Amino acid sequence: MEKTKITETSFKTEQICPSKVKTKKTVIKVAYLIFAVVSLWPRIDTAIALAAGIAFSLTLSNPFPELTGKWSKILLQMSVVGLGFGIGISQVISEGKHSIVYTIIGITFTIIIGNLIGKLLKVNSNTSQLISFGTAICGGSAIAAMAPVLKAKDEETAVSLATVFTLNSIALLLFPFVGHLFHLSQQSFGIWSALAIHDTSSVVGAAASYGAVALAVGTTVKLTRALWITPVVLGYAVFRKSDQKIKIPLFIIGFVLAAVVRSLLPNLNLIWDNIAFGARRILVLTLFLIGSGLTRVVLKKVGVRPLLQGVTLWIIVSVLTLAVILNHIII
């Protein structure tokens, strides 16, 4: 009789469990969508959205990993173009000219130092170069563009992306705090974030939480920096005799065109301002999606040595650029 009861209980449990699992998954999906919608609320800033995404992913797991990965890229590009409607083309040109010298110096210095650190730590050559390139220019976009030229393996690319992605998340939360600690002006903070934070999304996110001027400066300087993806990757391709096609980041062109439209039609500035405001809200949603992409699997991919290389290089770049700004070498 006892064996029969045990068997019956086990059978009932097997029948109930699938239902509970399905209900739990549904609840997690609904909760995720609610969090995503709430992130569009104007009182939610970029840092909160990113932190919420990370917390959700690490505690409950992201129920839509493929969709969020795809849409975070699309929405980021849309928001960057939309932000262009909030900045006149004269400011874009001015910031672009102003930043070109220290951009070239910064990229060159970062790549050289990054590769030296990689060699000292005995990090895989391709992984080391990808981390250095991603830190120097534009995080994930730069890594994705350089990987085919280096003929990097999927694992090498994944480790590099995971390393940069993890540091991006930390930077977005940390930089505004440090900026206020050192009483950086919005102009200075915009420049610092653009030079020392990897991805465009985190630069725009950190700058947006600091102020409107910081956002305009940070976005413009970062996108000017991102334009160097094409010539630098092309130079690598020629040096390595690679036949890989080089892609131009079209969203940067969209940003510039949006700034041109605003300048040509100033009588519609109210409309352009509303578009820019909508773009900032889309950016907050994007950062929630990006944060939810930081899963336990991603963290496991980051080896100790690549992470140490990424952290060391990032600290060197951040501290040196901050020192240069505080000493008014860059204004």
- State the Cα–Cα distance between residues 20 and 23, nearest whole angstrom: 5
Rounded percentage of the chain residues whose pLDDT exceeds 90: 37
pLDDT value for 245: 65
pLDDT value for 4: 47
Rounded percentage of the chain residues whose pLDDT exceeds 70: 92
Residue 183 has what DSSP assignment?
Answer: T
Name the H helices within the chain.
Answer: 2-38, 46-59, 65-84, 89-120, 125-136, 139-150, 154-181, 186-196, 200-210, 212-226, 229-239, 250-264, 269-291, 296-301, 304-326
Residue 15 located in a structural domain: no
Residue 116 located in a structural domain: yes
Q: Which residues of 189-202 are buried (b: 16+ CB within 10 A; e: fewer)?
A: bbbbbbbbbbbbbb
Q: Is the pLDDT of residue 9 over 60?
A: no
- State the Cα–Cα distance between residues 194 and 52, nearest whole angstrom: 24
Pick from 2-6, 88-92, 227-231, 281-285: least confident: 2-6
Q: Is the pLDDT of residue 5 over 50?
A: no
The residue ranking higher by pLDDT, 155 or 216, is 216
Residue 28 located in a structural domain: no
Residue 12 located in a structural domain: no
pLDDT value for 17: 67
The residue ranking higher by pLDDT, 246 or 148, is 148
DSSP reduced 3-state for 79: helix
- 2: Cα separation from own chain's centroid: 59
Q: For the range 311-320, what are the long-range contacts, defined as Cβ-Cβ under 8 Å and sequence gap of 24 or more?
A: 311/167, 312/117, 313/110, 313/113, 313/114, 313/117, 313/131, 313/132, 313/135, 314/135, 314/167, 314/171, 314/196, 314/198, 316/113, 317/106, 317/110, 317/135, 317/195, 317/196, 318/196
Q: Is the pLDDT of residue 64 over 80?
A: yes
pLDDT digits 0-9 by tens, 97-128: 777 888 888 889 999 999 999 999 999 899 99
Q: Do 68 and 293 touch, CB atoms closer than 8 A?
A: yes
pLDDT value for 3: 47
Residue 13 located in a structural domain: no
The tally of domains found in the chain comes to 1
- State the Cα–Cα distance between residues 312 and 320, nearest whole angstrom: 12
pTM, full prediction: 0.77
- State the Cα–Cα distance between residues 36 and 53, nearest whole angstrom: 9
Residue 226: give the domain boundaries: 39-326
Residue 30 located in a structural domain: no
What's the rounded mean pLDDT across residues 83-98?
Answer: 83
* Token pair listed for 146: 């350089």
> Of 288, 31, 312, 9, whose CA–CA distance to 167 is shortest?
312
pLDDT digits 0-9 by tens, 233-251: 888 877 776 666 666 667 8
Average per-residue pLDDT in the chain? 85
Distances (CA, A) of 306 to 4, 140, 170, 196: 56, 15, 16, 18
pLDDT value for 298: 74
> Of 42, 22, 40, 19, whose CA–CA distance to 30 is shortest?
22
Number of neighbours of residue 61 by Cβ within 10 angstroms? 15
In this prediction, residue 14 has a pLDDT band, given cuts at 50, 70 and 90, of: very low
Query: What DSSP string runs through 197-239?
Result: -SSHHHHHHHHHHH-HHHHHHHHHHHHHHHTTHHHHHHHHHHH
pLDDT digits 0-9 by tens, 278-330: 998 998 898 898 888 877 777 777 778 898 999 999 999 999 999 999 998 87
pLDDT digits 0-9 by tens, 156-192: 887 888 888 888 888 988 999 999 999 999 999 999 9
Residue 297 located in a structural domain: yes
Distances (CA, A) of 308 to 126, 140, 263, 296, 318: 16, 18, 45, 18, 15
Residue 218 located in a structural domain: yes
